[in-house]
């Protein structure tokens, strides 16, 4: 006799209620924090309550969303799909609320701005001034400020997770609208203990640099484009400016950094620019919003504030 295969009962979701949205928001926080205990601080509720909410969502959907135990927290394949759909749903809900605000010609709710890292020390960046003006013009909007990689910010603006992004320009997408803001100068640095630290650099050219290990960003960016073009040997990979700076400070790698960010390390004798007259490039930073659907009234207001602050 052939053994019967147990069929897991599937819940029918039906209508999505306010409670469902709350459970999905809790689940999203658990995934992004990497576990129940970490999400406790983010959500300001106890771990047992977080766990119960995730269990209620699993029951509601008829799916096992995550594994938790001694091996740590991990999403199941179904959990990953539910997380992806959760991002889309919550972005759509936010878009609906923004649309209603637009009808009433008001600005409220939450607006998420994502910025590429290490811009605050750039004297050409006037993001802080733009935020001050925006807070005065839209006092009822709760502003969320995120820091991310170029790719993450682009994806987030396209899928609605972020309403406005600020990144160094490196390519264009038909789904996004770009507005120029400010510039940044990138110089090549070595750390104390590197063979080039304190040495004469006048005779150095790009070919000579290829003999030295290079630390570069691990995603599509002006940094990656230049290193490929120059044929630099990428021996270490970083995913933000902080990681590149740490690799340079090890004394083992060369790396490009914003001159304003590296200035403090240089002043303390921990880094040195390598022939800045030759080994440099410039980044033009832009604000980006989604082309369609049209940005919310609040997003358009923030974009205007950014343009005015950098005029």
**Domain ranges across the chain:** 18-87, 107-311
Chosen CATH of 18-87 out of 1.10.10.10, 3.30.70.270, 3.30.70.260, 3.30.70.2860? 1.10.10.10
Q: How would residue 4 be classed by pLDDT, with cut points 50, 70 and 90?
A: very low
pLDDT at 7: 46
- 237-283 pLDDT, tens digit each: 999 999 999 999 999 999 999 999 999 999 999 999 999 999 999 99
On the question of a common fold for 18-87 and 107-311, the answer reads no
The CATH number, out of the four listed (3.30.2130.10, 3.40.50.1860, 2.40.30.10, 3.40.190.290), of the domain defined by the range 107-311? 3.40.190.290
pLDDT at 40: 81
- What Å distances lie between residue 311 and 114, 166, 180, 272, 303, CA to CA? 21, 16, 10, 33, 12
- What per-residue confidence (pLDDT) applies to 219? 84
- 80-109 residue pLDDT tens: 999 999 888 887 877 777 677 666 666 778
Whether the per-residue pLDDT at 142 is higher than 80: the answer is yes
Q: pLDDT higher for 62 or 37?
A: 62
**Cα–Cα distance for residue pair 137/284, rounded to 1 Å:** 27
Q: What is the pLDDT of residues 17-56, one digit of tens each?
A: 888 888 998 998 888 888 888 888 778 888 889 889 999 9
The overall pTM is greater than 0.85: no
Q: From CA 272, how far away is CA 249, in angstroms rounded? A: 10
CA dist 64 and 70 (Å) reads: 17
pLDDT at 16 over 50: yes
Contacting residues for 140 by C-beta, under 8 A, at least 6 apart: 106, 107, 108
Contact 223, 256 (CB under 8 A): yes
């Amino acid at each position: 006799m052939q053994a019967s295969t147990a069929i897991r009962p599937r819940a029918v979701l039906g209508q999505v209620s306010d409670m469902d949205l709350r459970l999905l928001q809790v689940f999203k926080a658990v995934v992004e924090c990497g576990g129940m205990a970490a999400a406790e601080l983010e959500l300001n509720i106890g771990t047992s309550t977080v766990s119960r909410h995730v269990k209620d969502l699993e029951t509601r959907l008829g799916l096992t969303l995550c594994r938790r135990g001694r091996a740590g927290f991990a999403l199941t394949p179904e959990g990953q799909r539910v997380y992806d759909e959760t991002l889309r749903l919550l972005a759509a809900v936010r878009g609906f609320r923004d649309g209603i605000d637009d009808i009433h010609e008001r600005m409220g709710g939450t607006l998420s701005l994502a910025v590429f890292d290490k811009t605050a020390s750039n004297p050409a960046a006037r993001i802080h001034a733009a935020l001050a003006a925006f807070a005065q013009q839209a006092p009822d909007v709760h502003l969320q400020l995120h820091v991310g990689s170029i790719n993450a910010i682009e994806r987030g603006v396209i899928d609605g997770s972020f309403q406005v992004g600020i990144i160094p320009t490196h390519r264009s997408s038909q789904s996004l609208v770009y507005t120029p803001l400010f510039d940044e100068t990138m110089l090549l640095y070595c750390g104390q203990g590197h063979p080039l630290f304190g040495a004469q650099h006048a005779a150095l050219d790009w070919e000579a640099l290829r003999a030295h290990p290079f630390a570069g960003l691990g995603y599509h960016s002006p940094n990656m484009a230049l290193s490929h073009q120059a044929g630099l040997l990428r021996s270490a990979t970083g995913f933000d400016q902080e990681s590149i700076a740490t690799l340079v400070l090890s004394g083992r790698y060369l790396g490009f950094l914003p001159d304003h960010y590296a200035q403090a390390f240089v002043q303390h004798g921990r880094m040195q620019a390598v022939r800045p007259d030759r080994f440099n490039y410039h980044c033009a930073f832009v604000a980006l919003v989604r082309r369609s659907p049209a940005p919310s009234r609040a997003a358009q207001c923030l974009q205007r504030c950014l343009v005015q602050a950098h005029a």
